[in-house]
Amino acid sequence: MTGLVTSAGLAEPLCPRDDLRSGFPYWLDSFRAMLRYDWGRLRQWVGMMVVIQTLMGAGMVLMYGFFYPSITPERALYIATGAPTLALIPLGLVMVPNGVMQDKLQGTFDYVWSLPTRRSAQMLSTFTLYTLMALPGAVLALLIAFWRYGVHLSLSPILLPAVLLCAVMSVTVGYALALAIRNPLVTNVIVNALIFVVLLFSPIVYPASQLPGWLFDVHRVLPFESMAQVMRAGLTTGLATDVGLSFLVLGAWTLAGCAAAAWVVGRRH
């Protein structure tokens, strides 16, 4: 088999028939083919994903504003700059695992792994598409928060790497979680419990110093507070400083997600 059937039912060549299935050119052809295939499957859902992201991010930001009798400028900045993080987390930790879960239930998951493409290219295709799809919802959520609270943002050069790292980390961890758990029903339960805990008990729209000491220490290891910190550092001046450790935490979680996914993929026959 040297072709890949797209969502339109057309067979597209994966690589020249006489080429060996090895080397970087073959891997690159595999990646391009999987991008076309995955985009064909996901493009009908892109609009819905952006809407859900925006509703989650902006909706949570608007709701948190009702918790305070008065919104000080600093408090408004914390809430508004938490909007992109609140939009990125549901896509990576909910939509990605749910997508893998649906593929498992429908048999698409095994079909994709049977295709004559590099599995690392299949993984990277998923990471790339979901990361790109995460960005519009995060931007829209931030714009709505900016409109609601009228805060003054000061963009810095670290905003772009911060956004990309947060999006990639969220997607890779969610993907690894979905791969590592064989039972789709168990995946669904864990994902829903996780998003509940994250949105309620993570210092995303308020300073981590307001947490009890033990919970503050927990969030120094978990990635969610670090996501909010690097976002704030890219959107404001002085609100979040010395974010080097936060970048390291996010990088470690990204590598852990990639390693876990690669380990699970390598064990599949």
Let me know if 218 is exposed, middle or buried by CB neighbors in 10 A (0-12, 13-18, 19+).
Answer: middle
pLDDT bracket for residue 60 (50, 70, 90): confident
What average pLDDT does range 57-80 have in this prediction?
86
What is the pLDDT, as a whole number, of residue 18?
45
Average pLDDT over residues 66-78: 87
Predicted local distance difference test score (pLDDT) of residue 9 = 54
Label residue 16 by pLDDT band (50, 70, 90): very low
What mean pLDDT comes out for the span 262-266?
85
The pTM score is 0.85
Asked whether 128 and 171 are in contact (CB, 8 A), the reply is: no
Bigger pLDDT: 226 vs 16:
226
Residue 233 has pLDDT above 90, yes or no: yes
Residue 138 scores a pLDDT above 70: yes
Whether the per-residue pLDDT at 204 is higher than 50: the answer is yes
pLDDT surpassing 80 at residue 61: yes
pLDDT at 158 exceeding the cut of 90: yes
Write down the mean pLDDT value for the chain.
86
